Amino acid sequence: MKVLSNADDVIARTLRTSMLIDGFWERWLVHGIDRDELTNIRSRITTIEGWSEGWLSVSNKMETIAGRLKEQKQLGEAEYMYRAASLGYNLIHWIYPDRNTEKRRWYSSCIRAFHSADLLSPIETWYKQIEVENNKCPGRIRIPSQTRGCIIIVNPIDSTKEELFKYEMDFNQGGYITVSFDGPGQGETYTFNGLRGTKTRWESFMDNLIEFTADEFPGLPVYLFGTSLGASWAVYGSCHPLVKKTVACSPAVQFERLQLPAYFLERMDYSCTLIPEQRAIPDFKSLRYRSPVMVVHGKKDQMVHSSDMYQLYESLPAGKSLTEYEEEGHCCNYRLAEIRQRAMSWFALK
């Protein structure tokens, strides 16, 4: 498999994709980017300079609104606006595939805005780290006042723990502690600490994170929730004896059969190895499943074949569940809020 190694070429292809394909933006819209703000700046974000300036203007606006709301003691609204601001900074950081000064600078801004939100939140937040091959994998834990279990959020392979803040919000509101860490090739673990993703590193990361969570919260059940390649690793995690149940939305099963966009593969080559025997995807044929898994599949998924999804589902143990959406594609983006509610209801079943 040949991929471009020049970061400028990767950025250029990513920008072209964002201009030409509306579906490129689904992920970011459902995770909190305002559609009107995107419409307002989309014509400007055709170059790396326009991309950075456009999303910076959005984040600056959101932070200004957040500060005003904070002064007015509207703390819940201010918290959300700080998180929305962090998403703009996250997009600027995300466009750079290599660990350059700009990537680190904008990710620092993302974390700063996120911490501003945490300071306003009534939900307790812990900042922790686990280790993989003597490298730090930073994470965050959110603890609501009434707890019924822990949900480990397993992020998509090119995502960050800050991007999926709506997952945290829903799960915390439902009474679940959320545990969200940057794995190998993700967020702080890659951008600041330089740890790329491989199969063995992800195996260690998942095993360590599950055991860390169980140790931190003894007596509470541990659940997993993942999307895309994060869902693949959630399925891997379901084999761990400390995991009670898992929800996997659009798990990738066979890397060679994934219909991944060219720009995504090029980006992935920086943060995760593409060497076949080391790629950051589980060896599903060798897994020994233990606990129930809910598989969620969009029947218009252009990346993961339905036949692969059904084959995976057939191999899962008793207690499994399959939820399908006729009109949804990969990650079932526009049904994710509903899926999170379904997940909590399923976790609560005895």
Question: Which one of 72, 96, 122 terminates a domain?
Answer: 122
pTM of the predicted protein model: 0.96
Q: State the Cα–Cα distance between residues 16 and 162, nearest whole angstrom.
A: 25
Regarding whether 103 and 172 lie in a shared domain, the answer is no
pLDDT of residue 254: 78
Rounded Cα distance between 283 and 235, Å, is: 11
Of 122, 139, 161, the last residue of a domain is 122
Q: Does 163 lie in the same domain as 71?
A: no
Same domain for 208 and 198, yes or no, is yes
Q: Which of 101, 104, 65 is nearest to 83 (CA)?
A: 65
Same domain, 170 and 197: yes
pLDDT of residue 4: 43
Query: What pLDDT is attached to residue 253?
Result: 87
Instruction: Name the DSSP class of 22.
Output: G
Q: Which pLDDT belongs to residue 1?
A: 42
Instruction: Show pLDDT as tens, one digit a residue, over the chain (350 residues).
Output: 444 459 999 999 999 999 999 999 999 999 999 999 999 999 999 999 999 999 999 999 999 999 999 999 999 999 999 999 999 999 999 999 999 999 999 999 999 999 999 999 999 999 999 999 999 999 999 999 999 999 999 999 999 999 999 999 999 999 999 999 999 999 999 999 999 999 999 999 999 999 999 999 999 999 999 999 999 999 999 999 999 999 999 998 877 777 777 888 889 999 999 898 899 999 999 999 999 999 999 999 988 889 999 999 999 999 999 999 999 999 999 999 999 999 999 999 98
Q: Are 242 and 169 in contact (CB under 8 A)?
A: no
Inter-CA distances, 222 with 164, 237, 294, 350, Å = 19, 11, 15, 14
Q: How far apart are alpha carbons 322 and 309 in whole angstroms?
A: 10
Phi, psi at 217, each rounded to 5°: -130, 65
User: Could you tell me the residue range of the domain that residue 79 belongs to?
Assistant: 1-122
266-270: which pairs have CB atoms within 8 A and are 24 or more residues apart? Answer: 266/3, 266/4, 266/9, 266/10, 266/13, 266/97, 267/10, 267/14, 267/97, 267/158, 268/157, 268/158, 269/3, 269/5, 269/97, 270/7, 270/10, 270/97, 270/98, 270/99, 270/196
Same domain, 146 and 76: no
DSSP 197: B
Give the pLDDT of residue 261.
78
Q: Please give the pLDDT value at position 305.
A: 87
Same-domain check for residues 301 and 165: yes
224: which strand partners?
Answer: 152, 246
Q: Do 116 and 131 have their domain in common? A: no
**Domain final position from 71, 90, 122:** 122
Residue 53: its pLDDT value, please?
A: 97
Within 8 A by CB and 6+ apart from 39, the residues are: none
Same domain for 95 and 168? no
Distance CA 68, CA 75 (A): 10
Residues 170 and 206 grouped into a single domain: yes
What is the residue type of 309? M
Candidates 330, 187, 230, 260; CA nearest to 17 is 260
208 burial level (CB within 10 Å; 0-12, 13-18, 19+): middle
CATH of the domain at 60: 1.20.1440.110
In this structure, are 185 and 293 located in the same domain? yes
Cα dihedral angle (325, 329, 331, 337), rounded to 10 degrees? -50
Instruction: State the pLDDT at residue 5.
Output: 59
Residues 6 and 102 in one domain: yes
Residues 298 and 309 in one domain: yes
Contact 93, 52 (CB under 8 A): no
The reported pLDDT for the residue numbered 3 is 44
Q: How many domains does the chain divide into? A: 2
DSSP string, 122-141: SSEEEEEEEEETTEEEEEEE
Say how many Å lie between the first and final Cα of the chain, rounded.
Answer: 46
Location of structure tokens 């149940």? 245
Residue pair 126/93 in contact by the 8 Å Cβ criterion: no
